[in-house]
Amino acid sequence: MSAKENSSVTRRQFLETTTAVALGTLAENRTVAASEPAAGMKYRRLGRTNLRISEIGLGCASGLRSQQLGPEMFNKYREELPAMTHKLLEHGGNFVATSASYHDTEEILGRALKGRRKDAFIFTASGKRDAKAVIADCERSLTRFQTDVIDGYFGHGGWSDGFAEAAQKLKQQGKIRFIGMSCHIPEQHRLRVETGLVDFILQPYNYMNLAKWTEKTDRVGTEELFELCKKKDVGVMVIKPMTGHFIPNWAKKTDDPKVAGLLKELKALGKQNLYQAFLMWVLKNPSVSCAIVGMGATQDVTENCAAVTRKFGALHERLLDRYASLATGDYCRMCETCVSVCPAGVRIPDILRYRMYHQNYGHRRDARELYASLASHQQAPACTDCRQCEQVCPARLAIVRKLKAAHELLA
């Protein structure tokens, strides 16, 4: 892999860099990240679990695969993870969330929480579908976390009868306390919430996929799902509160007056920056229990925790509106509305996500490997150019053009 392909930046580093290019160096007056400790973490009840969890918690999706960040940055992330965990606890955060598949993050968190187990709730997951495999995953997770019990154990990326069987057995044995599920599709959550199978859910929710942008469909939407969770007393943990760390291509176009205007406003906002605005928007929903936030440095923890102390106002609404208006034409919300109408069975959301990994994140090798793992009939060349996907896409994306561009990048 070339040095270029290994290079990657965090969302904050990217915007700080582009702002510096457009508006002069920030070295003397850096205002994007908060520099003072957050005062007064807030807590919410996680549904019928009755756990009082902090509004901000540490997510570890950055530990998914080493190739996503490249060796240098991935090792740096792993080295920083204990310090980020301690900083979260210092600011009043009281939970971490990861998965058995997120490299060695469970072991790292286990070591970081040694002697402080009572200070943090542990949420982790298995993506396996066979009951024996799920139980084996959980046993390994218990060992890695150096604990006798996992507070919240969830099916990663979906649900299966095997996971349900294993989770119930593990709960009876006292090895897990509560059962949950993570996935992107509200309808899939609804089926488990209505039947009482889950105590909590992990659902993507952010300003870029709220109703006015993406849910003009006849399917169950995120807001409706949250109302059902409230009725059934199921906890709601939000993932991807900052749009999945989407680094917009438009931010590179600093000669565009709209882009320059937004970057200028980001500089002027100081501590009340774009990413805090995303968090503040999510947390103003009373049906949300918390936001699980991926972080790359202790400064991110300080900045994100500070968001809970601030009030969302017209300034933040305007900032998010401007961001969304610039990013909306390029950002796939992964709602999968297009999947059911594609006659060829092309995995449109997956391909656009891999395109984002390659083009926006700089995770080129990983994106290509993921694309190659799709069956040939699921890849972009199978597209018949019928454009039914574009007709139903709530965000009105130019899907066919993006599929062709994705194939050129990823094949």
What is the number of H-type helices and E-type strands within the chain? Answer: 18, 10
Please indicate, yes or no, if residue 351 is contained in any of the structural domains: yes
Please state, rounded to an integer, the average pLDDT across all residues of the chain.
83
pTM for the whole thing? 0.82
The residues near 327 (Cβ < 8 Å, ≥ 6 apart) are 208, 243, 246, 248, 250
Q: Mark whether 80 and 229 lie in a shared domain.
A: yes
Query: Backbone phi, then psi, for 12, in 5-degree steps?
Result: -70, -45
Examine residue 177 and state whether it is found in any structural domain, yes or no. yes
Beta bridge partners of 54: 43
Task: Find, among 382, 126, 340, the residue nearest to 217 by Cα.
Answer: 340
Q: Among residues 292, 327, 362, which one ends one of the domains? A: 327
Range from 59-63, 132-136, 367-371 that averages highest in pLDDT: 132-136
pLDDT band at 32 (very low <50, low <70, confident <90, very high): very low
Domain of residue 245, CATH code: 3.20.20.100
How far is it, in rounded angstroms, from Cα 382 to Cα 239?
Answer: 31
Into how many domains does the chain fold? Answer: 2
> Does 358 lie in the same domain as 245?
no
Half-sphere exposure of 222 (CA within 13 A, CB side): 28
> 376 and 231 in one domain?
no
Render pLDDT for 323-364 as a digit per residue (tens, 0 to 9).
Answer: 888 888 888 887 788 988 999 999 999 999 899 888 877 778
Q: Beta-carbon neighbour count of residue 345 at 10 Å?
A: 11
Same domain, 75 and 222: yes
Q: Do 361 and 68 form a contact (C-beta atoms < 8 A)?
A: yes
Contact indicator for 57, 292 with CB cutoff of 8 Å: yes
pLDDT-above-90 percentage for the chain: 53
- What residues contact 397, with CB distance under 8 A and at least 6 apart? 329, 330, 332, 352, 390
One domain, residues 237 and 352: no
Mean pLDDT of all residues in 133-149: 97
User: Is 372 inside a domain boundary?
Assistant: yes
Phi/psi for 200 (5° steps) reads -155, 160
Q: Residue 217 is which amino acid?
A: T
User: Tens digit of pLDDT for each residue in 214-229?
Assistant: 444 445 578 889 999 9
Q: Is 137 in the same domain as 218?
A: yes
289 lies in the same domain as 349: no
CA–CA dist 366, 331 (Å, integer): 19
Q: What is the mean pLDDT of residues 305-326?
A: 86
Return phi, psi of residue 53, to 5°: -105, 155
290 contacts 41 by C-beta, under 8 angstroms: no
- Select from 327, 360, 376 the last residue of a domain: 327
What pLDDT is attached to residue 98? 95
Are residues 146 and 262 both part of a single domain? yes
Residue 333 lies in a domain: no
> Would 194 be classed as within a structural domain?
yes
Within 24-70, residue ranges assigned H as helices are 66-69
Last residue of a domain, one of 327, 351, 383: 327
Residue with tokens 């457009």: 22
> How would residue 285 be classed by pLDDT, with cut points 50, 70 and 90?
very high
Structural contact between residues 354 and 409, judged by C-beta atoms closer than 8 angstroms: no
CB atoms within 10 A of CB 58: 27
The answer to the question of residue 272 being in a domain is: yes
Identify whether residues 322 and 344 lie together within a single domain: no
Report H helices in 233-347.
257-269, 274-283, 298-306, 314-327
Claim to verify: residue 390 and residue 271 sit in the same structural domain? no
Look at residue 142 and give its three-state secondary structure: helix
pLDDT attached to residue 67 = 54
Which tokens belong to 60? 């570890």
Over the range 271-287, which residues count as b (16 or more CB within 10 Å of their CB) and which as e? bbbbbbbbbbbbbeeeb
Does 144 fall in a domain?
yes
Count CB atoms within 10 A of the CB of residue 340.
10
Range(s) of the domain holding residue 351: 339-410
Shared domain check, 292 and 392: no
Q: Does 334 map to a domain? A: no
In a shared domain, residues 184 and 305: yes
The answer to whether 44 and 53 are in contact (CB under 8 A) is yes
Both structure tokens of 173: 């044995």
8 Å CB contact between 34 and 302: yes
